[in-house]
Amino acid sequence: MDTLSSLQQLLNPQKIAVIGASKSKGKVGEIVFRRLMGSRRRLYPVNPKEIVIEGHKVLADIGSLPQDIDLAVITISAAAAVNAVEECAKKGIPNHIIVAGGFGEVGEEGRKLEQKLKNLTRKYNIRILGPNSLGIFLPDENIDTIFVEHGDKALDRKGKVACIVQSGSVGVEALGYASNTGYGMRAFVGLGNKCDLDEIDFLKYFDQDKKTNCLGFYLENIERGREFLDAAKKTTLKKPVVVLKAGMTETAVSAVSSHTGKLAGSDNVISGALKQFGIQRVYDDEEFCDATKVLSMLKQAPGNRVAVLTAAGGYGVMCTDFIEKDENRAPLKMAKLADATKQKIKEATFDFTACENPVDITASADDRMFSQSLDALIADDGVDIVICIAFFAPPGISENLIDIIAEKTNSSDKPVIVFTKYGPFTDNFIKNLYFAGVVGYPSVGRTVRAARFLVERARILKRLGQEE
């Protein structure tokens, strides 16, 4: 079977064995089995010490499994896991997820175990995700093998971002983080130690996946560097590829070495290469989520001229500061508004409205004024991106503003990004914006940075298009 078909089977299995399934609350084998019970697939728990789990008859050993299992999720510890994989392989199970750590990342003994796993993949022609994998999560397929808490349902709204992460902790926290404020995830894959399947395999898979429109990677090392870059460059012509590559500095490189048992390449080289091949690099999980969110939800920016609409003057000014600040990623410009645009806004609002960009319709504004001013900005040919400052304190501004912005965002080709802040309710507002299809952030800096991700993407496409 080729890799793409294997991954298809691994990510959307019909029959799943859970080696080490358990009834003991909090054990990895218990959590994974419980999560999979929501999948409506056929489950085969295996554990010599259990008889029945939640109505499922437990098999005493791997040998008792039927022949046509698609995936074995192996929740037992390192040395036992290696034996289990071999037994599963002998039963003809083609795909394996190994949760346990204690392999290459913990020294010589672990490295030997990991080598054994590698040998098994060749000997039996099987595929392994992990070891030390956090598991997989695909909301649309009801597949979830992640054994730690990973946030609420705000994730599974027909999301289109495929997140492929090497480190469990970072991955799961990015998940939780994203779920607090709304984030559309197509798939989450914990690569772990990558004894077999790695970022390139999943890059190629999600490149083809119709439900994915943006790929995000958290990587600590890239072993087949050139291959990854070549593949990513192909993907990036269709879908944005974002990489959080820890190990930017010299000290970080040696830290990575001790964390995953593999050496990261010289970071400057990696940084330059990522750029050249059209990959968008980010530096922590906040940036990772912010970038993939905006790239997944919004259309391409036609240019870099930004208009800012606000009912809170101070934020308009700060936003301008961030827009005009020199930034490595992609330069932005304050749009110069057409006279007709200014006239429309004045008519919709007040004589005294500051119609220069940023457009400050003041705290006396109401929903209608905001709406008509936004229309005018979107219609202006000199505007490529609109940043709305949705500030709910003015008495005339109501929560209907969310739907107003959503309607315009969803019917326009121009990206509209929202900055909002509302005391203790900020996260809820951003989540409500998300549910209405609007990209929102809770800080001025992050909102403007999101616009940069869009402009960076547009420039990448332009450059790669010219090279073709």
Nearest 10 degrees: Cα torsion 376, 381, 382, 386: 50
Site for a copy of itself in 211-250 (CB under 8 A): 218, 220, 244, 246-250
- Cβ-Cβ contacts under 8 Å for 189 (sequence gap 6 or more): 11, 129, 136, 162, 163, 164, 165, 202
Minimum separation from the CB atom of position 354 to a copy of itself (A): 3
Minimum separation from the CB atom of position 411 to a copy of itself (A): 29
Minimum separation from the CB atom of position 111 to a copy of itself (A): 11
- Which member of 21, 117, 170, 377 binds a copy of itself (CB under 8 A)? 170
| Mask for 394-413, x = binds a copy of itself (CB under 8 A) | -x------------------
**Complex with a copy of itself: residue 38 or 395, whichever CB lies closer:** 395
Distances (CA, A) of 226 to 4, 149, 203, 205, 412: 20, 35, 14, 18, 38
Minimum separation from the CB atom of position 344 to a copy of itself (A): 18
Distances (CA, A) of 12 to 95, 140, 340: 11, 10, 54
CB 287 within 8 A of CB 244: yes
Site for a copy of itself in 195-214 (CB under 8 A): none
Q: Does residue 320 interact with a copy of itself by CB under 8 A?
A: yes
Cα 443 to Cα 399: distance, rounded to the nearest angstrom: 19
**Complex with a copy of itself: residue 45 or 168, whichever CB lies closer:** 168
* DSSP class of 59: B
- 381: how many CB neighbours lie within 10 A of its CB? 11
How many residues touch a copy of itself under the rule CB under 8 A: the total is 80
Q: Does residue 321 interact with a copy of itself by CB under 8 A?
A: yes
Minimum separation from the CB atom of position 298 to a copy of itself (A): 22
- Which member of 138, 175, 279, 295 binds a copy of itself (CB under 8 A)? 175
Site for a copy of itself in 274-293 (CB under 8 A): 283-287
- Which member of 123, 393, 435, 463 binds a copy of itself (CB under 8 A)? 393
Roughly how many angstroms between the first and final C-alpha of the chain, as a whole number? 32
Please provide residue 309's backbone torsions phi and psi, each rounded to the nearest 5 degrees. Answer: -115, 130
Site for a copy of itself in 35-94 (CB under 8 A): none
Beta strands at 359-360 and 305-310: parallel, antiparallel or unpaired: parallel
- Which member of 67, 258, 411, 466 binds a copy of itself (CB under 8 A)? 258
* Amino acid occupying residue 324: E
Minimum separation from the CB atom of position 362 to a copy of itself (A): 8
Site for a copy of itself in 331-360 (CB under 8 A): 334, 351-352, 354, 356-358, 360
Structure tokens at 92: 């003809």
Site for a copy of itself in 137-166 (CB under 8 A): 148-152, 166
Distances (CA, A) of 285 to 224, 244, 322: 23, 8, 21
Site for a copy of itself in 92-111 (CB under 8 A): 101, 105-107
Minimum separation from the CB atom of position 321 to a copy of itself (A): 4
**Complex with a copy of itself: residue 87 or 427, whichever CB lies closer:** 427
Cα 14 to Cα 77: distance, rounded to the nearest angstrom: 25
**Complex with a copy of itself: residue 140 or 284, whichever CB lies closer:** 284
- Part in contact with a copy of itself (CB under 8 A); list of ranges 86-94, 203-211, 362-370, 376-384: 362-370
**Complex with a copy of itself: residue 72 or 146, whichever CB lies closer:** 146
Cα 361 to Cα 376: distance, rounded to the nearest angstrom: 13
Cα 130 to Cα 104: distance, rounded to the nearest angstrom: 11
